[in-house]
Chain A
């Protein structure tokens, strides 16, 4: 019994010591260093032009306008978060649907129809899979090169640009694989759209 009391005392002081060390000191030091060395990254990689915050380059948004490039399918959530005035804020969640169910088959078929309709020039081409699937976070800011190329004809026509110009914008917003091997080549949809709107250079 005496031993248990002793162990409890040690365990308690151990928890306190490491709460200070790993909870407060560690978190504090990393935050300080992060703010000092990487202020843009550590604060959410927000795109700010002339004082207006046009989105975070890491958070996807939903685009339905045919002048814009479209991203992954989104499962919007406008009820969880509000700003200080109680106005709803947009967020998104993954679908968590099994890709092997009949329900899913119908869902994808609808998406295929919707995308075919918006891209009449591409009727003969199969739709890149990124455009008909919901992402893992629900907030994927990227699509594949194939998914971007698929939309070039539509974007050019709707914005009265030639395809070459659209392609140039896409190339500017494309990030290759890390070290040429890891991950996938991606196009940042928000950046493309801000460039199409003339907000970003």
Chain B
């Protein structure tokens, strides 16, 4: 028991220890200051500007910044969409996979430019290595960099006084990729390969099976068959089965996985190289790779809190935001961990199944890997849904009702408990603006945040940023629930079936990308509707955030007085958490009551 708790504590401690120095480093990159890597990297940065003809001193106003984001994402979309359609005739395809269907290609392209990485595809059977490397990996970098760049613009909005410019989008993206993402990912991917993640350009492989498997003519697996490989005969109960096939080899997927997996984690992207993502033993082979991959999920989102404080020369503010997020995260991990460790009565079989902690992880091991057990799977589940990462190392569909509900809630509160790289923090800052407004109303003062007056213009946009996610999720899942063909996509039925559907829209509406994977989302209706959900949930908040940034930059700074509401103390942290929970949890209460809560309570009866 003690060892299990220690595991949770050390995971969190490891994250904080790495996030603080990284946050300081990112602040230097944002301001173009010198770092210990400048000698090598700055020449590369300058070379990129030269090739692209970028003026590194340019200051864009918010509209130009926003248009640049939109056009850049749009071009990325077109490229990735076409690349998937054409992969069948392009090189880098040793498996000879066909071009992807239009609706799946559309969904996947949107999914990757929006930093969602919803997987309606199974990597090893659908996408060529060229698509994975030149398409997905590149968008993993670019969508992550875009999120961080928008956050930089917002931070500058708070810092600048009576100014117009928020910096240059091109410069921000270039710096983020060259100084932060590339060096970090070179280190992470080499650690992963050392731990056993595959990285090669060979076609898929096969290896011998210790026990061959018999398959009947129509593809049914023949259990208890008597197999004679040398004479190629299969007998069941002494009867020879005609036309049975004997499977003697196992499929071993290959490809450049580690490099893709590294950025998928650090960029809060989450789209796996394999269909089952980081549960796959070739994508996440050991407790060591799991530690690296899992910490990478929250590393940059957590670091950005400290970047924020340090850039504002108000470290306490960064710590306050971090604390609010951290408290929510710890509570979520505790809920998932306890619920998964307890397991279910259906699994325990009145004591016939041992779910204790002796010599094993115990608990609900359905959908979980033996090497990760309960602690590493629960921590990952909380990390990946708190951040808008969406990778998984265990199948959320097979979580207990309450454990699964917490992962859903983390996405439904708008992906602001750390959230995606950049977008999590700018989302949380919109909630902070909402909080000072509400607090201001309570004490009868003009709301202000970080020395800037918060006025109706900011409020309108902040509300839009905060409400986009709940609206997209609720409207989307509401419409989908009324369409009869959607029920064919479900693996489970009843309340859990509804949970699968709600999870899909929560995941796309939160730009998360994880799934209750029993849900077959590869249909035309779902590919398109979930694609739309992802687009709205990504770009409406981006435009809103930049509009707020642009307007804040224009304002003068007001002096702090005795009457100024502190935004760094415990009271503010508490209020912020309450506002996030009211918007998130309350809007979803009715929907959750039909899904996971119904499942949970029907079990108690």
Contacts and interface: CB of A to CB of B under 8 A. Distances in A.
Contacts of B75: 8, 11-12, 15
Contacts of A141: 281
Given A30-B193, A144-B370, A181-B10, A95 B48 contact: no
Contacts, number: 406
A167 interface: no
B409 to A, nearest CB: 18
B491 interface: yes
Interface string B162-178: 00000000100110010
A95 B79 CA distance: 35
Given A43-B254, A128-B360, A26 B197 contact: no
B279 to A, nearest CB: 3
Interface in A78-114: 78-81, 83, 87-91, 93-102, 104-105, 108-109, 112
A54 B208 contact: yes
* Interface band, chain A: 35 or more
Nearest to A180: B3
A100 B346 contact: yes
Contact of B195 (A41, A78, A132): A41
Contact of A52 (B76, B193, B208, B400): B208
* Interface band, chain B: 35 or more
A155 interface: no
B366 A95 contact: yes
Contact of B209 (A21, A90, A96): A90
A88 B107 CA distance: 30
Nearest to A176: B287
A79 B518 CA distance: 18
B79 A15 contact: yes
Contacts of A43: 198, 200, 202, 254
Given A30-B199, A94-B395, A178 B288 contact: yes
Given A42-B200, A146-B359, A55 B346 contact: no
Interface string A121-160: 0000111111011111111111111110100000000000
A47 B207 CA distance: 9
A52 B392 CA distance: 34
A183 B292 CA distance: 12
Interface stretch (B181-189, B547-555, B564-572, B578-586): B181-189
Given A18-B177, A178-B286, A90 B251 contact: yes
Contacts of A30: 186, 189-190, 193, 199, 256, 258-259
Contacts of A190: 210
Contact of B279 (A38, A136, A145): A136
A59 interface: yes
Interface of B: 3, 6-7, 10-11, 48, 51-54, 64, 67-68, 71-72, 74-76, 79, 125, 133-135, 137-138, 141-142, 170, 173-174, 177, 182, 185-186, 189-190, 193-202, 204-211, 213, 215, 219, 221, 223-224, 245, 247, 249-252, 254, 256, 258-260, 263, 274-276, 279-282, 285-288, 290-291, 343-347, 349, 351-355, 358-373, 376-377, 392-395, 397-401, 491-492, 494, 496, 516-518, 599-600, 603
